[in-house]
Structure 1
Amino acid sequence: LSEDCREMAETIVSSSRRAEGYVAGLLEACAGAEEEFQSCDLSLIFKEAFQNALPLAASKGILLKKESDLRGTASLQKEHFLRAVGNLVDNAIEYTPSGGTVFLKGSMTEKSWQLTVFDQGPGFTKEALAHGTKRLWRGDTGRSLDGHRGLGLWIAAQVVKSHSGELELNNWERGGMVTIRMP
Structure 2
Amino acid sequence: KKLQTDSLDETIFRKAEEISAASYALDLSNPGAVSKLTKRIFFQMKDFYVSTALIPKSHGTVSMIILYSLDSVKHRILLQRLAFSGAAFLAILALSICSWFFTGRMITPLEKSRQEQTEFIAAASHELRSPLAVILSGISAMKKADPKEQEHFLSVIEKEGTRMSLLINDMLSLSNADNHSWKMHPVSCELDTLLLDTYEKYEPLMQDHHMKFFIELPEEEIPPCPCDPERISQVLGILLDNAISYVPANGKIVLSLSQTETHFLIRVKDNGPGIPDSAKTSVFRRFYRADSARNNRQHFGLGLCIAYEIISLHKGTISVLDTPGGGSTFQISLPLA
TM-score by length of 1: 0.81
For residues 101 and 57 of structure 1, the distance between their equivalents in structure 2, rounded to whole angstroms, comes to: 9
* 1:1-47 deviation per Cα after TM superposition (whole angstroms, max 9, x unaligned): xxxxxxxxxxxxxxxxx998776454233233313211111211111
The aligned residue for residue 199 of structure 2 is 50
Q: Do structure 1's residue 177 and structure 2's residue 329 form an aligned pair?
A: yes
For residues 139 and 52 of structure 1, the distance between their equivalents in structure 2, rounded to whole angstroms, comes to: 26
**Residues 255 and 269, structure 2, Cα contact 8 Å, conserved in 1:** yes
Which letter maps to 2:248? P
* 1:135-176 deviation per Cα after TM superposition (whole angstroms, max 9, x unaligned): 111123333443221111111111111101110112311311
Structure number with higher relative contact order (C-alpha < 8 Å, ≥ 6 residues apart): 1
Aligned CA-pair RMSD: 2.4
Which letter maps to 2:309? Q
For residues 165 and 239 of structure 2, the distance between their equivalents in structure 1, rounded to whole angstroms, comes to: 15
For residues 28 and 128 of structure 1, the distance between their equivalents in structure 2, rounded to whole angstroms, comes to: 24
For residues 193 and 322 of structure 2, the distance between their equivalents in structure 1, rounded to whole angstroms, comes to: 27
Name the CA shift for 1:66/1:20 in 2 (closer, same or farther; >3 Å). farther
* 1:92-111 deviation per Cα after TM superposition (whole angstroms, max 9, x unaligned): 12222111110111001122
**Residues 167 and 300, structure 2, Cα contact 8 Å, conserved in 1:** no
The secondary structure found in structure 2 opposite 1:132 is: helix
**Residues 238 and 304, structure 2, Cα contact 8 Å, conserved in 1:** yes
For residues 284 and 236 of structure 2, the distance between their equivalents in structure 1, rounded to whole angstroms, comes to: 14
Pairing of 1:62-81 with structure 2 (within 5 A): 62-69=211-218, 71-81=222-232
Aligned residues: 167
Which letter maps to 2:202? A
For residues 171 and 209 of structure 2, the distance between their equivalents in structure 1, rounded to whole angstroms, comes to: 26
Q: List runs of 5+ in structure 1 lacking aligned partners.
A: 1-17
The aligned residue for residue 57 of structure 2 is none
The aligned residue for residue 210 of structure 2 is 61
The aligned residue for residue 11 of structure 1 is none
TM-score by length of 2: 0.46
The secondary structure found in structure 2 opposite 1:147 is: coil
The aligned residue for residue 121 of structure 1 is 272
CA shift, 1:181, in A, is 0.9
Pairing of 1:19-34 with structure 2 (within 5 A): 24-31=169-176, 32-34=181-183
CA shift, 1:127, in A, is 3.2
Which letter maps to 1:178? F
The aligned residue for residue 10 of structure 1 is none
Which letter maps to 1:177? T
For residues 75 and 95 of structure 1, the distance between their equivalents in structure 2, rounded to whole angstroms, comes to: 31
Name the CA shift for 1:22/1:52 in 2 (closer, same or farther; >3 Å). farther
Of 137-146 and 52-61, deviating more is: 137-146
For residues 257 and 166 of structure 2, the distance between their equivalents in structure 1, rounded to whole angstroms, comes to: 23
Which letter maps to 2:172? L
Name the CA shift for 1:26/1:35 in 2 (closer, same or farther; >3 Å). farther
CA shift, 1:90, in A, is 1.4
**Residues 267 and 332, structure 2, Cα contact 8 Å, conserved in 1:** yes
Greater percentage in helix: 2
Name the CA shift for 1:171/1:43 in 2 (closer, same or farther; >3 Å). same
**Residues 53 and 90, structure 1, Cα contact 8 Å, conserved in 2:** no
For residues 53 and 23 of structure 1, the distance between their equivalents in structure 2, rounded to whole angstroms, comes to: 24
The secondary structure found in structure 1 opposite 2:322 is: strand
Q: Percent identity?
A: 27
For residues 133 and 45 of structure 1, the distance between their equivalents in structure 2, rounded to whole angstroms, comes to: 24
**Residues 173 and 306, structure 2, Cα contact 8 Å, conserved in 1:** no
The aligned residue for residue 13 of structure 2 is none
The aligned residue for residue 303 of structure 2 is 152
Q: List runs of 5+ in structure 2 lacking aligned partners.
A: 1-162
